[in-house]
Structure 1
Amino acid sequence: MKTFQHDGRCPICETAVTFTSQNDWFRDNLFCSKCGSIPRERALFKVVADYFPNFRDLSIHESSPSTRGASVKLLTECRAYTSSQFYPDIPPGTLHPQSGARCENLEALKFSDNSFDIFITQDVMEHIFDTKKAFQEIARVLKPGGAHIFTAPLINKGKKSECWASRKENGEIEYHHEPQYHGNPVDAKGALVTMHWGYDIAGYITEVAKTPTTIIMIDNIDLGIRAEYIDVLVSWKY
């Protein structure tokens, strides 16, 4: 396709930029000329800033952060931002011997109750086996009034969410459909897709984690927020 360019204002950079794509699949290719972010990252950060304008002073944890965009903004500007990655061969709650990154398993977090004002995940929840436990654990470590703000591709949209792969009691993986993998910053083999979520995810989280959840849909090309599957979900702990 012909190169797409649009001048606008990046919610992450908070300055005038040019959004550029060499591909008509904007979700992964509409980049900010300054921070390199893509649409879902800009959408997530806009929601964070809209709901928590004092985010720089809050306790924030991000699971599996990116090396650009919203993750870098939060890392550099928030005084109480922490992050973690999941390493299957590293005990949760400990540091990776080479990278120094903290290892955490969303299904069994090592943090104390009521630890964070905001918990962030970006395209992570479609890779979790025990989603009920993960959403419950995130709710547990949130402070009252806090929120899990996250993205996950809701590719089933109005259709019922589908389990794509599950874990048996003996630890073996059972594939219910053709295996799919997404990019994984800490594993070259990629991250196995376990769920194809639909809009019913909001009701599911509200039920299992007792955190009322809303889906926020943003389409604003002037902010570089235009693409498929860039909905932002906010789950509140009251």
Structure 2
Amino acid sequence: MLILKTIFKKCLVQCTFLPILHSRLLTTKANTETKKPPAKEAPAKKQPLLKTFKIYRYDPEKEGCKPMMKPYTIDLNDCRPTVLDALNKIKTEQDPSLTFRKSCREGICGSCGMNMDGVNGLACLKKINPRGVTKVYPLPHMYVIKDLVVDFKKFMQQHNRIKPYLIRNPPEEKNMQFSQSVKDRADMRLLPGKAIAKLRLLVANVSSKKKPDMDGTAMSDPVKACDQKKENAACKTA
């Protein structure tokens, strides 16, 4: 008899508990269905950061072609940080006829030497100034082949003529091998072509004949310009 009572009680408990459990499960399921995760907001579009470059253009092979500064506008948000990156972007997307030199892109070879905002430098190292208009010219006091490409023949002739290295004696030492330390290598420095544009006095056979400047005007004698700079520096120090 006791066994029957206990079984009957268990059945009553189960019969009353199961509907409650079932109702709770239904409510939790309904709550989870109604509570949807909030929709992700679309990322706000960046405002275009427009930058204008005025680049020297000149093709001597075209008849009647005169030097000119041509403007190009790019979005800096879609461009890498250097002037060379901007030139590559302009050449790829806007004007394939734009001509300039490039090679290592690491500031070693000096191929991308040019004048940017009045300062000679390497385009692969020069960071883009987001403000104002950046003017890009070929290296000054060198003959222009096309656009930003200058003729390095004269530079190489001068480099070979002055022999900027140690010439050892006696001649029998030519067959010997000389070790080079890390310090010796560091002291050698590199000789990028951009340096010749600043060292105007190294240009041999400077004639007094006036040559066309980048803007179409006649440039001054480099020797006189250098002497004038020295006089100005002496006045400032005095």
TM-score bin (small chain): under 0.3
Greater per-residue strand proportion: 1
Greater per-residue helix proportion: 2
What is the TM-score when the length of structure 1 is the normalising length? 0.26
Higher normalized contact order (CA 8 Å, seq sep 6+, divided by chain length): 1
What is the TM-score when the length of structure 2 is the normalising length? 0.26
